[in-house]
Amino acid sequence: EYPGIAYYRFQAEVVGIAEKGVLVCLCSKNDEAAVWQVLDGHPHCLLRRNRIAGYRVNWADKATNLKELALELNLSLDSMVFVDDDPAECALIRSQFPEVVVIQVPGKIYQYPGILNGSGLFDRLSVSEEDKERAQYYQAESSRRELQKRHVDAEGFLRDLRMKAVVRSLEAGDIPRASQLCQRTNQFNLTSKRYTESDLANFMDRPDVRMFMLQSEDRFGPSGNTGLIIFKREGDAVEVDSFLMSCRVIGRLLDRALFCEGLRRVREVWSFSRIRASFVPTQRNGIVSGLWKDYGFEKVAGGDGETYGCQVTEMKVSFPEIIELA
């Protein structure tokens, strides 16, 4: 019956979006216990706790809560969509964070269904298995944060995570996820090359290209396929064409695991002594601006993109001993 049916259909829309891999968060001025009582127990509630990637349910202003959620999930604000029925809350977010897309739901409850899908913001041509598990991956982050609080230094925390890494050559079944990483990864992305599935499929047929995918897990569960590196052979040198990591594993040394194991593999099939790499700065990848220097590379050219080079024997990066290569 109305208005319940309108709320139910709106929830179905949210669940459908979550199943596409969009992270759903709660940002509510309410009593937390009351909110979970509804989501966990109400017979007509479709949006359950397991769909929620992060939440702030308290009486603080929603701008503060939204910023905290972005930091918690390691997401940029310009990737967030804020949906609310209060004009004042919508105005606050617009003024504080103009990069956030704000959707104010209509005044009539019967107009709620369709407001999200009709926006076009959540349209996707394909949905991978990785997309369907994204909320669960992020939910495990709360356990990792609690563990981190119990350690006084980063090394102790990372060691206690008991991380495992699988680095494998890219296979045909990995291409959709690899392309997603190319298209969506902005922070840990050295060159921001947006390769399509067709591009990657063509690379697989080239003898001068080697591609490796990182799959990671720790004591709290899997993180999925979280990294991609592409090497290209150019004469007597090898170039790191692309190197990117999902934001959910940044800062855990897994980039070093992927780089070192990938490089070891290409040295088994190619003979070379020098490796080249680039950093192409964007508004969002400043986090990796110093990565090649940290790895022992020297800058050889500047401009819009920075070029680096290094003798393989002079690199300062090694496979982290606190990560198990599975």
Residue 74 has pLDDT above 90, yes or no: no
Backbone torsion region of residue 33, taken as left when φ is above 0, otherwise alpha when ψ lies between -120 and 50, otherwise beta: alpha
Q: Supply the CATH number for residue 37's domain.
A: 3.40.50.1000
From 104, 119, 134, give the residue that closes a domain: 119
Specify whether 12 is located in the same domain as 160.
no
Average pLDDT for residues 3-8, to the nearest whole number? 92
Q: Which amino acid is at 114?
A: G
Confidence of residue 315 (pLDDT cuts 50, 70, 90): very high
Residue 113: name the closest of 25, 2, 44, 11 by CA. Answer: 11
106 and 163 co-located in one domain: no
23-27, 48-52, 208-212, 216-220: least confidently modelled range: 48-52
Read off the pLDDT of residues 271-287 as tens digits, 9 standing for 90 and up.
999 999 999 999 999 99
Q: Given a cut of 70, is residue 68 above it in pLDDT?
A: yes
Assigned domain for 37 exists:
yes
How many independent structural domains does the chain possess?
Answer: 2
pLDDT tens for each residue of 18-32: 988 899 999 999 999
What percent of the chain clears pLDDT 90, i.e. is strictly above it?
85
Strand pairing of 221-234 and 237-245? antiparallel
pLDDT tens by residue, 102-152: 999 999 999 999 999 999 999 876 777 788 888 888 888 888 989 999 999
**Peptide bond before 281: cis, by omega within 30 degrees of 0?**
no
Q: Output the domain CATH number for residue 162.
A: 3.40.630.30
Work out the average pLDDT over 173-199: 96
176 and 288 in a common domain: yes
Q: How confident is the model at residue 300 (pLDDT cuts 50, 70, 90)?
A: very high
Q: 126 lies in a domain? A: no
pLDDT at 243: 99
Which domain covers residue 277, as residue numbers? Answer: 152-325
Among 69, 104, 119, the domain-final residue is: 119
User: What average pLDDT does range 195-212 have in this prediction?
Assistant: 97
Residues 68 and 183 in one domain: no
Same domain? For 110 and 171 the reply is no
Q: Which of 119, 138, 173 is the last residue of a domain?
A: 119
Task: Tell me, yes or no, whether 82 and 190 share the same domain.
Answer: no
Whether 110 and 179 map to the same domain: the answer is no
Give the CA distances from residue 257 to residues 19, 110, 143, in Å, rounded to whole numbers and listed in that order: 30, 52, 23
